[in-house]
Amino acid sequence: MNSQSESAPLTIRSRPRRLRTSPAMRSMVAETNVAPRQLVLPAFVAEGLSEPRPISSMPGVVQHTLDTLRKAAVEAAQVGLGGIMLFGVPEHKDARGTGAVDPHGILTEAIRAVRTEVGGDLLVMSDVCLDEFTDHGHCGVLTPSGLVDNDATVAIYAEMAVLHAEAGAHVVGPSGMMDGQVGAIRDALDAAGLIDTTILAYAAKYTSAFYGPFREAVGSSLTGDRKTYQQDGANVREALREVALDLAEGADIVMVKPALAYLDVIRAVREAVDVPVAAYNISGEYAMVEAAAANGWISREPAIAETLTSIRRAGADIVLTYWAQEWAQSLRDDRRGERERSRVVGSGEPSPPSSRRFDGRTASEAVAT
């Protein structure tokens, strides 16, 4: 009897591994990519700063001055990002968040400055919410009993959105999860003749433990929670209802926030609507990767690649992420390196080494996997 080593080779006609044999093959058949045009950079600008202020829980992220924000916006446009989402941090807050509707407030001035700097080369997006501006930290004004007054808050959002659009925002992003906010904003924009201003609705925004670093970033004074207006993490059908309501009120793009703990919601929304779907890769998700990488527990760049790819794979057309600039710059550097290697090889000179950052690959290879 023949031994196993002498037996005929197996007849295996379908070998999926053939499509994984090389970076070129894997790139050609990749189903998901993460392109710079699909990324939006969230950016914080604080009033009264003479230099950027680091955010301790978000290594590499800062509160900008107006000057450094302008520079960041120009750099974002240069690497081909889709947009920049602006958050303002005022020096003084009050119960009604009056700084949010100040024509010369920090957020309005930031919108004006960035739009002047980049024009139409980068979409200027603005956060329409009161939490950065209220001394109690809630996303709206409060009733005498301490509850968020939905309708009074919506009226302020509408005023705020018009102010932002007039200052130069291409896109306004109501993020407070107030009932009727999108419809009120759409009506106010149209009445002001701002019919081309896009509404990016935070349609499914969940109460989350992963917002902690963001609260440091905007100097939030919140005590308690936002469970009476942000969504319960147990619910998906409710998210679809919220999305449908926002679309009926005139939303152009709908967003799910956070991203990683809600990939199933992103997928459900993607399958339910025919408009662009965005997702926010939020501060806590960023901080977890950065902290684990800093401790040597994970490999940083592959973790970033895997994170962004998972959000895109779930169905997000647009991803807000604090890694947007780094990711796009890595792609740009890789393209330059490939051109240089092609030039050197063509001349017969020794080829310089490739820059490998994402899972042992260049960012150009990682972008499509």
Longest CA span, the chain: 91
- With beta carbons less than 8 A apart as the criterion, state whether 255 and 319 touch: no
Q: Which residue of the set 71, 93, 205, 227 is catalytic?
A: 205
Does 257 qualify as catalytic in the annotation? yes
Among 76, 5, 92, residue whose Cα is nearest residue 41:
76
DSSP reduced 3-state for 20: helix
C-alpha span between 26 and 131 (Å, rounded): 45
C-alpha span between 365 and 369 (Å, rounded): 7
Does 71 qualify as catalytic in the annotation? no
State which H helix or E strand residue 244 sits in: helix 237-248
Q: Which residue of the set 71, 93, 227, 257 is catalytic?
A: 257
In 3-state terms the chain splits into helix, strand, coil percentages (rounded to 5) of: 45, 15, 40
Which long-range contacts (C-beta less than 8 Å, at least 24 apart) are formed by 338-342? 338/362, 338/364
The first and second tokens of residue 205, run together, are 């925004």
DSSP letter (8 states) at residue 252: S
> For residue 241, what are the CA distances in angstroms to 177, 228, 245, 355?
13, 17, 6, 46
C-alpha span between 366 and 369 (Å, rounded): 5
Residues known to be catalytic:
205, 257
